[in-house]
């Protein structure tokens, strides 16, 4: 995962950059406070939406379940990918690599942002809006051997959301502006928390534990993580300028937080919300405990980084907090067995306040 880091001219590898004036205390407080807030939003709303996603019958919105085997392999796959990117940036022209990646994330970003804003935008459409239903269907074979490859249902409202997201995509592609980057980054994070589901708490512990080691090694053991994070021009991190008060929207001295440091703890927090709902006690103790733990861990990351003036692996602090705090609560309540025996197949009931997919609801009524 990319770490929380201040992108000052003296930091990182490569040729020395022109010296920048140090960020003011006000600018740093605004930057890091904004990063924390931006990290919390996709976790909170993504967790709520993951409850509805777990019950969805729409094939285009079915969650991807992460098993213990997937969790064990993930740090290895992530390490190979990170090292591969590092070598690519060392061997090939950074300009052409980032151009290719920009086009790739341009398409993914538009789709992710469209999916993110769709439930919110439905509230702004008038009741008499001419909403037509469409279906994108690709099949293979014929007759009884016919097999669906793609079956995606959408409507006119989804097309409007796609058009709005395309405007942001073009803005990002042409300007690489940090606001456009963050809109895509937030959309990727929220979709990740919503659609990636851990099948049980043990799998979550394996995944977080493995990535804990991964993050610490690649940040403290080598300069690979920092180099890739600063060379990679793609919305895989949230950024916020520390000189916003001085330069406005053209500020360029950024603090950053990798999306992995949001999504990985986020899917574990979302699992705990679904566990809370499965208990049917009308309390979300484990969800709120882990949510507060995330705030504590991220705040500690920023504090340590500020004290030692060195990029920090955020999962070094987030993983013990997000696992340890709920485990202590389970021990205090005598629910450790229930916590570790919970399986994702246990369908949760609907959480109060969770946003509904109005498109799906409307299609059900029509049927």
* Token digits of residue 120: 């919110």
261 catalytic? Reply is: yes
Angle at 357 between CA 355 and CA 362, to 5 degrees: 135
Give the count of beta carbons closer than 10 Å to the beta carbon of residue 238: 28
Q: Which of 157, 164, 163, 184 is nearest to 42 (CA)?
A: 184
252 catalytic? Reply is: no
Who's near 201: CB < 8 A, 6+ residues apart?
271, 272, 275, 339, 340, 342
Catalytic residue among 155, 158, 243, 261: 261
Q: Which of 107, 252, 129 is nearest to 188 (CA)?
A: 107
DSSP assignment string, 180-201:
HHHHHHHHHHHHHHHHEEESBH
Who's near 290: CB < 8 A, 6+ residues apart?
265, 268, 269, 272, 322, 325, 326
The rounded Cα 325 to chain-centroid distance in angstroms is 21
Catalytic residue among 155, 158, 215, 276: 215
Who's near 216: CB < 8 A, 6+ residues apart?
313, 315, 316
Residues identified as active-site? 215, 261
């Amino acid at each position: 995962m990319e770490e929380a880091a201040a992108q000052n001219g003296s930091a990182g590898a490569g040729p020395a950059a022109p010296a920048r004036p140090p960020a003011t205390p006000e600018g740093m407080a605004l930057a890091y406070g904004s990063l924390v807030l931006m990290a919390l939003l996709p976790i909170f709303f993504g967790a709520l939406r993951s409850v509805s996603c777990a019950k969805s019958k729409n094939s285009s919105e079915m969650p991807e379940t992460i098993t213990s085997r997937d969790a064990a392999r993930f740090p290895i796959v992530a390490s190979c990918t990170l090292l591969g990117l590092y070598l690519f940036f060392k061997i090939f022209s950074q300009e052409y690599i980032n151009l290719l990646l920009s086009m790739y994330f341009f398409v993914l970003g538009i789709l992710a942002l469209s999916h993110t804003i769709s439930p919110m935008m439905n509230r702004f459409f008038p009741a008499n809006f001419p909403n037509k239903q469409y279906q994108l269907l690709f099949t293979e074979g014929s007759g009884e051997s016919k097999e669906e490859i793609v079956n995606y249902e959408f409507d006119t409202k989804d097309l409007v959301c796609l058009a709005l997201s395309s405007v942001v995509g073009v803005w990002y592609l042409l300007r690489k502006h940090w606001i456009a980057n963050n809109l895509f980054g937030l959309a990727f994070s929220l979709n990740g928390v919503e659609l990636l589901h851990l099948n049980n708490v043990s799998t979550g512990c394996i995944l977080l534990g493995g990535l804990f080691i991964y993050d610490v090694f690649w940040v403290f053991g080598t300069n690979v993580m920092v180099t890739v994070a600063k060379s990679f021009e793609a919305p895989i991190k949230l950024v916020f300028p520390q000189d916003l008060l001085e330069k406005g929207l053209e500020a360029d001295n950024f603090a950053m937080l990798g999306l992995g440091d949001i999504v990985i703890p986020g899917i574990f927090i979302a699992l705990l919300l679904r566990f809370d709902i499965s208990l049917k006690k009308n309390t979300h103790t484990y969800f709120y405990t882990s949510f507060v733990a995330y705030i504590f861990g991220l705040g500690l990351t920023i504090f340590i980084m500020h004290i030692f003036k060195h990029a920090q692996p955020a999962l070094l602090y987030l993983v013990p907090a997000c696992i340890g705090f709920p485990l202590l609560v389970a021990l205090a309540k005598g629910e450790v067995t229930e916590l570790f025996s919970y399986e994702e197949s246990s369908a949760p009931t609907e959480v109060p306040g969770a946003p509904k997919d109005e498109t799906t609801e409307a299609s059900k009524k029509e049927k």
